[in-house]
Structure 1
Amino acid sequence: MRGQRRLRRTALLSSLTLVVGVMVTGVSQAHPDHPGSGGREDFPGEGVADGMYKQHDGTEGHLPPVNNNVTLVGRAEVTNPAGTGNTGRVADVTAFGDYAYLNAFREPTCGQTGVHVVDISDPAHPAEVLDAFIPTSAGSYAGEGIQVMHVDNAYFSGDLLAHQNETCPGAAPAPPNSGGISLWDVTDPRHPQPVALHTGDFTNPGGGLDPAPNQTHSMRMWTNNFDGKTYVVLVDDEEQADVDIMDITDPFHPVMVNDTLDLDVLFGVDQATPTNLTSVFSHDMMITKIGQRYVMNMNYWDGGYVLLDVTDPGPGKVTLIAESDYAALDEQRLARGHSISPEGNSHQSELSPNKKFLLGTDEDFNPFRVIATIDSGPYAGTSYIATQASDTPPIDQDTEISGPTTYVGNACAALPAGSGTALVERGTCTFQAKLNNITAAGYTAGIVFQNVRADCLAGVTMLASGGIPYVFVNRLRGLQLLGIAGVTEANACTTPSPAAGSPSATTTIRAVFDGWGYVRLFGTEISPKVGVPGSITQIDTYSVPEAQDPAYAIGFGDLSVHEVAMDPDNSEIAYISYYAAGFRVVKYGKTGIQEVGAFIDQGGNNFWGVEVWKDETGQKYILGSDRDFGLYIFRFTG
C-alpha cells in the first residue's frame, strides 16, 4: 500500500516551475472530465467504478496526537455488520434529538452497508443501538449524505431520515432497488420504519427511463415556510451537471419538481481558465432561509461555490445570486513559492449564522498533480487528462509513464511480446482482461482510450488490479496519440480507430507535488429579498501545514480537508473534519482564518463528517465520524 512505500526525499519544490492549466488524475477528480454517461459500463461486468471510487480511499499512517483547546467528551465504536472490521467503514454523521446517525460506507466490503444509530443522551457514554441499524439494499451503500428533520403535515408527522444510495463498485447489473435516496421514519429511533426506498431521478443521460433511479451522492432536505412544502435536492451521479429537486411533502409518494438545473448551461458557472478546471458538476449543498427567500449554497466542483435562490424550486424559477471563480494560481502553493493552477474541487460549504461569510472545503485526495503530454507526432505538446485505474501503481513522484506507445487494438486476446506502454481501445472485454493481456505480453504500462460512443469525451475510473500503471483517457486524446489527422472534439466520437499496429506517439505522464485539499473563506452579500443579486468574494485560505509539505505526501494518511460545520451561535467559529489531520477548529472573519483548536487521538484519526449538536439543556457539542472507529463527541474550550 502507499503508506508502506519509502518516501524518496527529492527536492521537489525547488524543481517545480510554473505549471498552469495542467491536468489531474483519477484520485483528484471525483467524476469524469466532462459531463456525460462515461461512467456507464458498455456491458455488465466491464469494470467501471462509480465516479467517487478513488475518493475516501484511505492510506496508512497518521500524524502525531495533538489536543489544543478541545475536550474529548466521549466516543462510541460502531459494529461493522459485515464482521470484517471498521477500517474505512464509517462515513457521514448527523444528529437529531438524543441520537446520532452514521453511514456505513462500502469499505472494507460493500455488503450490509447502511446507517448506524447511536444513543448520545449521555454524551460521555454514547452507545450504538445494535438492533436499530438501518440497512441499504443489496448492491447499494450509503456515504456522503445523511439528515434527519421533523416533518408535520397532513401526510406525515414525525422525524424523517434521508440517506443517499450509491451502487457498489463492480455490481452489475444494478438491481431495481438501487440508487436514489431512501426515506425512513425515525420518530422512534430504536425502531426505524421505511417510508420510501430508492426514490429519485429515473431519467438516464440518453433521455430514457431506467428501472432504478440514478445513484445519488448526496442530498439535503428543507421545508419551505412560504408554501408549506418539504423538498429534497439530490446530487445525481449519472447526470452529473444536473441538480434534481423533489417534493417530499408526502414522503410516501415523492414527486420530481425540477430536473432542469444544469448550473453551467443556465448560469455559466464554469471558467475558461485555468484550463484544467473541466470537471463542472454538482457535489453537495445546503439550504438556508434568509428573509423572504431560500438560499442554496451549491458546491459545483471545478465550477466553484454557487449561491442560488430556490424560494420557488420549479423549472425556470431558480435564479443565480452569486458564484465564485478560482484564481489563476493556487494560493496555498503560491505562498510557498510554487506557481501552479488550483485544483478546483469545491466539495462542501456552510454559511455563517449572520450570513456574511461562507467557508468551503476543496477536497483533494492526491497530493500530486499528474501532467500528461503527447511528445511526438502532429499533436506534440498537447496536454491531456489521464485517470488511473482503481488498484494499480499510482502516478506519483516514484512512478511515471514515458516513452513510445504501441497500439494493440482492444487487447481482448493474447498479444505478441512487447515493451513500453500499450495503447488500448475500450470495448469487447473487461478492463481487467485488457490489463492482464498487456501485462502478460511484457508491457510495463497501459493507456486505454474511449471507444466510439456519444459521450466519448468522458472518462471513467477502471476497476482493475495489477502491477503496472494503467490509465484511461478520452477518445479525442487516444486518436491524437494515434496521430489521426483533423480529429477534434466535434468529430472524435464518430471517427473510427485505425487497425491495431498503427503508429502511435510517445508520451509522458508524470507527477509533481501540489498539496492536499484545503479551506476557503468567502465574504458574502445576500439580500433578504427575492430576485436581488448578491456577491461572494474570497478573503483567505487555510491549510494544515503538513498538507502543503511534500515530506508528508506519503505515509501519514489522507491530509485533505473534508467538511465544515459552522458554530450556530458564533459567526467567528467553525469546526472542520480533516481526515488524517484530525478535528480542527478555526476562527474566521474579515481578516482571514486562524486555527484555534485541534485534536488527533493516540494512534491517529480519520474524520469524515462533522456536525454541531445540542442536548436538551442547550449544551453544545461537536460530533465527528472517524472512518475507522465510529463517533467522537467533542467540546471546544478555546
Structure 2
Amino acid sequence: MAILTLGLATAGSSGAHPDHGGGREDFPGEGVADGSYKQHDGDEGHLPAVSRNVTLVGKAAVTNPSGAGNTGRVADVTAFGDYAYLTAFREPTCENTGVHVMDISDPAHPTEVTSAFIPTSDGSYAGEGIQVEHIDDSPFFHGDLLIHQNETCPGETPPGANSGGISLWDVTDPRSPKPLAMHVGDFTNTAGGLDPAPNQTHSMRMWTNVFDKKTYVALVDDEEATDVDILDITDPRNPVLVNDGLDLGAVFGVDQAAPTNLTSVFSHDMMITKVGRRYVMNMNYWDGGYVMLDVTDPRPGKVSLIAESDYAALDEERSARGHEISPEGNAHQSELSPNRKFLIGTDEDFSPFRIVAKIDSGPHAGTEYTATPATDSKQIGEGTTISGAVTFVGDACAPLPAGTGTALVERGTCTFQAKLDAIIAAGYTAGIVFQNHRDDCLSQVSMAAAGPIPFVFANRFAGLRLLGVPGVTEATACTMTTPATGGESTTVKSVFDGWGYVRLFATDVPTKPGKAGSIRQIDTYAVSESQDPAYAGGFGDLSVHEVAMDPENNNTAYLSYYAAGLRVVKYGKNGIQEVGAFIDEGGNNFWGVEVWKDETGEQYVLASDRDHGLYVFHIDC
C-alpha cells in the first residue's frame, strides 16, 4: 500500500550547510553542533567488500601530526601533474588542518610529502573545494596556482583577519608551496560595512577566461548563503571582488513553491565549463535545484540564466518502491558531460529519516514546520514521537516549576544543554527550542545537547505559530515580540525516506552567449541499500557525495558514495546504470572523486577516503 506524504518538513537547515555544521553560536559555548560523520569501526558497521570492474592500483594514508588519528581527517581531493592534494578536515580534532600533498608519480605506491603540508590558519580548516590550475596568461603570475577554502573550527572565535575566505598558494614546486594571498573573499556585512575577515567559504571554483585573459574564482559564501561571490584573481596576490550580488533566487527565481518542504535554498557548489563562446557555471542550489548560468562576463547584471531544474512532486526513488513522499531536494554537486549533452547531479542526504512536524490545534492547525533534533538527545525515530500540547517556559535558564509533556523554550541567555537540563529537572518529557528575536530568525540550528528525552529546534516562525500567535507570517516573525504565554498541540515524528542519490539530466547548452537552453531530468540512480530501511543505521553513511565525469567518454561517470564506496555508472538518453563498484575490506568512507592522467596518458580515478587518505583506481569497463 502506498503511503502518501506530501509537503513534509525536512530536518535540513536553511541557514547553514547541513554537511558541515548547524549555524553560528549566539555566544561562545552556546552549543551549536558542528556535524560529525564518522565511519565504522572494526568488522561491523559497513557494507561488504566488493570489487567489480574496478582495480585498486594503490592507496596511502595521510599523517595526522596532532596524534588524534585519521577518523574523519580527510575531505576533498584534486590532482595536478604528479601530485594529488587532499584537504584536512576538522575531524577528529580541528588541529593542524590544511592540505596534504601526495606524490602519485608511481600510482601503485602513492606517498605523502609531509614536508610540503599546506597549513590553514589556527582555528580554521579546509574541506570541500580544492583546485590547482596552471596560469600562463596573467602578467602578474606564471605557474601552478592552488586554492583552498577556509571555515572556522567549531567553538572558535575567528582570530581577527586570519579566518574565512579562500587562500591562494604557488605550487609550481609542489614540494615547496608558497603563500600568495591568505583569507581573501567577501568582507562586506549586512549593515553595508566591512568586517576584519571575509565570510567563511564552503567551496570554490576557478577558471581562466580565454576571451578577456582574466582568471576568476566563484565562492560559496557560508554567511550569505544564497549569494555566489566572484573574485578576479588575475593578480593572485591582490584578488578583487567583482560580484557580490548573485542571489539566484532573487535574480533568477530558481526556487520553487511546491513541494512546500523545499525551503532550504542556498548556494552549495559549482563547476565552470567553456562551451563555444561562453562560460557556463553549473550551480548546485540545494532545494533550488541544478542551475546553469552564463558567466562569460561575471560582473553584476551581466550573468544570465541558461536553464534550471525543478524537483518533481514525488521522490522518484521512493515512488519506485511504493512510497509516495515529496523529494528531499539537496542539490549538492554536478558536472556536465564532455559533449555538454548531459549533466549528473548528486543529491546529498545524511539522514535516511525525515522529521515530520505539524501543529495540531489553534489558528495554525494543520501547518508543518522543520524540527532539527539535538545531536545527543533521544532521537525522533521508530516508536519515539513528540505529541500533545506544548507549555511555554521562557528561556529555561533558571529552575522551572514542575511540568509534564512538552516544554517550548526560546533560544538565548544560556546554553542549549542548560535548557535541556532545566526541562528534564522540571519533569518534562520532550522539548522544543525556537529561534530568538534576530535578523536570521527563519534559520535552523543543530544543537549540541545530550539527554534522555527528545529535544528539537524550530525557527521563530514555527515557534510563534506553536504559541498560537494569530496572523504571524515569515515576513513578520523576526520583528514580532514573543508573547508571555501560549501553547498549541503538536506532533513530531519520523518517516524513512532513504539516503541521498543521483539524478541524470539531458541538457541543451547553446554555444552563443545570451541564448537560453534547457535541462530535463531523464533518470535517477541509487545504491539499493540506501533505499532499504534495514540499512538505515549501522552501515555508515550511504549517501552519494560527488560525481566526476569521464573526460574521454560521453557515457561514463564515477561517484563517491561515502560508506557505499566508489560506483561506476554508464549514462545516456535511455537512463543511468551501475557497471562497477569498489568497497575495501573493512569498508570505505569516500568524500571526493577525481579523474587523473599520468604523464603517459594512462587514466586513473582518485578517491579521498575520510578515514584513511588517497585511493588510486583503474576502471576496467
Q: Pick closer, same or farther for the CA change 1:565–1:173 going to 2, 3 Å.
A: closer
Query: Contact (CA 8 Å) 1:39, 1:238: kept in 2 or not?
Result: no
1:358 maps to amino acid: L
1:584 maps to amino acid: R
TM-score, normalised via structure 1 length:
0.93
Matching residue of 1:322: 307
Query: Contact (CA 8 Å) 2:355, 2:372: kept in 1 or not?
Result: no
Matching residue of 1:203: 188
SS at match of 1:461: coil
Matching residue of 1:602: 585
Query: Contact (CA 8 Å) 1:350, 1:359: kept in 2 or not?
Result: yes
Deviation at 1:467, TM superposition (A): 3.5
Matching residue of 1:102: 86
SS at match of 1:339: strand
SS at match of 2:3: coil
Query: Contact (CA 8 Å) 2:221, 2:227: kept in 1 or not?
Result: yes
* 2-structure distance, mates of 1:349, 1:114: 25
Matching residue of 1:25: 11
Q: How does 1:548-563 map to 2 (within 5 A)?
A: 548-563=531-546
Deviation at 1:156, TM superposition (A): 1.0
Which of 108, 113, 133 is equivalent to 1:149? 133
TM-score, normalised via structure 2 length:
0.96
Q: How does 1:309-388 map to 2 (within 5 A)?
A: 309-388=294-373
Matching residue of 2:439: 454
SS at match of 1:546: helix
RMSD: 1.7
SS at match of 1:608: strand
Aligned length: 614
Deviation at 1:503, TM superposition (A): 3.5
Matching residue of 2:378: 393
Q: How does 1:113-132 map to 2 (within 5 A)?
A: 113-132=97-116
Cα displacement string for residues 58-86 of structure 1 (whole angstroms, at most 9, x for unaligned residues): 56621001110000000001111221111
Matching residue of 1:513: 496
1:599 maps to amino acid: F
Query: Contact (CA 8 Å) 1:47, 1:462: kept in 2 or not?
Result: yes
Q: Pick closer, same or farther for the CA change 1:175–1:76 going to 2, 3 Å.
A: same
Q: Pick closer, same or farther for the CA change 1:208–1:435 going to 2, 3 Å.
A: farther
2:35 matches 1:54: yes
Cα displacement string for residues 313-350 of structure 1 (whole angstroms, at most 9, x for unaligned residues): 00100000000000000000000111000000000000
2:595 matches 1:612: yes
* 2-structure distance, mates of 1:270, 1:414: 44
* 1-structure distance, mates of 2:452, 2:64: 30
Query: Contact (CA 8 Å) 1:59, 1:558: kept in 2 or not?
Result: no
Q: How does 1:435-446 map to 2 (within 5 A)?
A: 435-446=420-431
SS at match of 2:530: helix
Cα displacement string for residues 207-234 of structure 1 (whole angstroms, at most 9, x for unaligned residues): 3321111100000010000011000000
Matching residue of 2:153: 168
Matching residue of 1:3: none
Q: Which of 396-405 and 87-96 deviates more?
A: 396-405
Matching residue of 1:279: 264
Cα displacement string for residues 387-413 of structure 1 (whole angstroms, at most 9, x for unaligned residues): 222333332224322223221101111
2:412 maps to amino acid: G
* 2-structure distance, mates of 1:242, 1:204: 12
* 1-structure distance, mates of 2:10, 2:36: 14
Q: How does 1:514-593 map to 2 (within 5 A)?
A: 514-593=497-576
Query: Contact (CA 8 Å) 2:88, 2:98: kept in 1 or not?
Result: yes
Query: Contact (CA 8 Å) 1:304, 1:344: kept in 2 or not?
Result: yes
Query: Contact (CA 8 Å) 1:33, 1:458: kept in 2 or not?
Result: no
Q: Pick closer, same or farther for the CA change 1:57–1:85 going to 2, 3 Å.
A: closer
Deviation at 1:518, TM superposition (A): 0.4
1:517 maps to amino acid: G
SS at match of 1:598: strand
SS at match of 1:435: helix
Q: How does 1:118-267 map to 2 (within 5 A)?
A: 118-152=102-136, 153-172=138-157, 175-267=160-252
* 1-structure distance, mates of 2:308, 2:209: 23
Matching residue of 1:288: 273
Unaligned runs of 5+ in 2: none
Q: Pick closer, same or farther for the CA change 1:493–1:438 going to 2, 3 Å.
A: same
1:418 maps to amino acid: G
Deviation at 1:30, TM superposition (A): 6.8
Query: Contact (CA 8 Å) 1:295, 1:309: kept in 2 or not?
Result: yes
1:177 maps to amino acid: N
* 2-structure distance, mates of 1:441, 1:484: 25
Query: Contact (CA 8 Å) 1:425, 1:448: kept in 2 or not?
Result: yes
Cα displacement string for residues 84-121 of structure 1 (whole angstroms, at most 9, x for unaligned residues): 11111110000011111111111111121111111100
* 1-structure distance, mates of 2:274, 2:236: 22
Q: Pick closer, same or farther for the CA change 1:302–1:389 going to 2, 3 Å.
A: same
Query: Contact (CA 8 Å) 1:321, 1:532: kept in 2 or not?
Result: yes
* 2-structure distance, mates of 1:120, 1:30: 40
2:620 matches 1:637: yes
* 1-structure distance, mates of 2:162, 2:404: 45
* 2-structure distance, mates of 1:482, 1:119: 60
* 2-structure distance, mates of 1:442, 1:59: 36
Deviation at 1:419, TM superposition (A): 2.9
* 2-structure distance, mates of 1:43, 1:215: 18
